[in-house]
Amino acid sequence: MDLTVDLSDRGDRSAALYRALRDAIRDGRLGPGDRLPASRVLASDVRVARSTVAGVYERLVAEGFLEARVGAGTFVTAVAPEPRARAEGALLPRRSWVWGAHPVSGEEPTPAYDFRVGIPDAGLFPFDTWRRLLAAESRHREHNPGAYAPPGGLPRLREAIARAVGYSRGVRAGADDVVVTSGAQHAINLAARVLVEPGDVVAVEDPGAPFVRDLFASYGARVVPVPVDEHGLVVSAVPTDARIIYTTPSHQFPLGVALSLPRRRDLLDHAARHGAAVIEDDYDSEFRFSARPLETLHGLDEAGRVLYVGTFSKSLIPSLRTGYLITPPSLRDALLAARQLDDGYGPLHVQAALARFLEEGLLARHVRKAAKVYAARRDLLRAGLSELPLEVVPSSAGLHLAAFLPDGAPPWAGDEIASRARDHGIGVEPLAAYTVAPHRPGLVFGYGAAVTESIRPGLQVLGRLLADGSGSTPGPRPPGRAAAAPAGR
């Protein structure tokens, strides 16, 4: 590793080198255990005499910053001073309030009873098969890894996605209609970049994914929450001036209901009458546990107004960071240009491996296998919730269930119970974390990452928390609100 040392100031070269190395250690750029270049190498790099470097090293050793190990080299000591705190500097203007308000997620410990939302079971993923495909595609040169790629994605993968969604979801699309993205969130972001002008009205579901609201707001949109009931998005409440309508019709996030067929038709009629685009986020409907799903909005659309978003984050694993956007012909060139300007294109060897995964029927096989595991967990969860004072929201797909608290519970009861549950090792989200307007309080339970044997014991612990009356009587609302877990899209 090269070490950058600034000796641009004229004068005492030895003193300048000493200050540069000392500051690098204090700032943390050189950490305990880091090996410094040999004196001969550093002298050649910074164009000073070797004796100058040797003298600086000796001084830093004497001061405790470095230690010399015979036959090994010179190393930063384990007791080197702590890195100096970096000054905040000037407060630079941000383009939008969203960047200061949206929470940034970090890695969190896995709870003992893991009902976090949006997380599939990585243990079900066929890592051995994936490594084989990835290694094979890394060796091949068919996808020209030494050149830049088209922004829409590897043609093989685009073709494979078009075939897969046509077969499994009835989405009519050709390879040219598919834009490969880094997950569903990236796909929605591309749509927003192309469609949103500052001041435009964007209608979103409420409750719904917080990141979607913040994403559209970051482009200057006026985001209007639209209520959801047992039949899905209330189309009659969608503003007539909405330029974009975002919806999760197959498995509403987070309630889990499906948009009824009459409302699907009403929504498409509304979009056609008022010139709106519809973003259909079909994020986890591969896993279904009842009758065949209703036809997608994209499949019903005859006016070319629906952008269909999908992802492999739930059906496979989030770390693949691969999703797709199926675009109407009128937006194809604009979305490809937006993808080009965004980050150019995705990793070709991963896309090639995923294409083979789809072509060889491995995705369908994995989904069938995983669906059996998830169905068993879902049944356990539903049975356990039925024994608690909760009203489970009917849902026939996906990897989570929502449940309302009893009538009369105050609006903040879900937040309080979820907070106390976390203190007892239960990872569960309050429904209020996903709402804008006042809504009946409840909890959202993911079962994708839940260890099957932990579901019933976890619900028993939760049952004791509910039984003690926590959050069941009105009183002053506690400050703050629990943040929603990332959806991993």
Per-residue pLDDT of the chain (489 residues; tens, 9 = 90+): 556 666 666 567 888 899 889 888 888 888 898 999 999 998 888 888 999 999 999 999 999 999 999 889 999 997 766 656 666 666 667 666 666 666 777 677 889 999 999 899 999 999 999 999 998 888 766 666 667 778 999 999 999 999 999 988 889 899 999 999 999 999 999 999 999 999 999 999 999 999 999 999 999 999 999 999 999 999 999 999 999 999 999 999 999 999 999 999 999 999 999 999 999 999 988 898 876 778 999 999 999 999 999 999 999 999 999 999 999 999 999 999 999 999 888 888 899 999 999 999 999 999 999 999 999 999 999 999 999 999 999 998 999 999 999 988 998 899 999 999 999 999 999 999 999 988 899 999 999 999 999 999 999 999 999 988 644 433 444 444 444 444 556
For residue 480, the model assigns a pLDDT of: 41
Q: How far is CA 66 from the centre of its chain?
A: 42
Which pLDDT does position 485 carry in this prediction?
44
Task: Dig out the tokens for 265 from the structure.
Answer: 């038709």
Per-residue pLDDT, 299: 93
Q: Quick one: pLDDT at residue 475?
A: 40
CATH of 1-92, one of 3.40.190.10, 3.40.50.300, 1.10.10.10, 3.30.1780.10: 1.10.10.10
What pLDDT score was predicted for residue 339? Answer: 94
CA angle 22, 24, 28 (to 5 degrees): 120
* Inter-residue contact 285 to 171 (CB < 8 Å): no
CATH architecture of 125-360: 3-Layer(aba) Sandwich (3.40)
User: Would you list the domain boundaries of the chain?
Assistant: 1-92, 113-119+364-467, 125-360
Do 115 and 424 touch, CB atoms closer than 8 A? no
Strands 400-404 and 426-427: unpaired
Round to whole Å and give the CA distance between 288 and 267.
23
Neighbouring residues of 173: CB distance < 8 A, sequence distance ≥ 6: 162, 165, 166, 298, 308, 326
User: Are the CB atoms for 151 and 362 separated by under 8 Å?
Assistant: no
Output the pLDDT for position 19: 87
- For residue 467, what are its two tokens? 């039984």
Please tell me the distance from the alpha carbon of residue 250 to that of residue 185, in angstroms, as a whole number: 17
- pLDDT for position 78: 79
Question: Residue 228 has which token pair?
Answer: 């959801």
CA 280 vs CA 52, 166, 246: distances in Å: 66, 15, 6
Q: Which residues, 6+ apart, have CB-to-CB distance to 138 below 8 Å?
A: 349
CB contact set of 353 (below 8 Å; sequence gap of 6+): 130, 133, 134, 136, 137
Which pLDDT score is estimated for 106?
66
pLDDT number for residue 488? 55
| Predicted pLDDT at 483 | 45
* In CATH, 113-119+364-467 is 3.90.1150.10: yes
- Closest-CA residue to 53 (of 7, 108, 88, 1): 7
| pLDDT, position 164 | 93
Can you tell me the distance from the alpha carbon of 51 to that of 56, in angstroms, rounded to the nearest whole number?
9
Q: Tell me how far apart the alpha carbons of residues 255 and 233 are, in angstroms, rounded to a whole number.
A: 11
pTM attached to this predicted model: 0.82
pLDDT at 291: 67
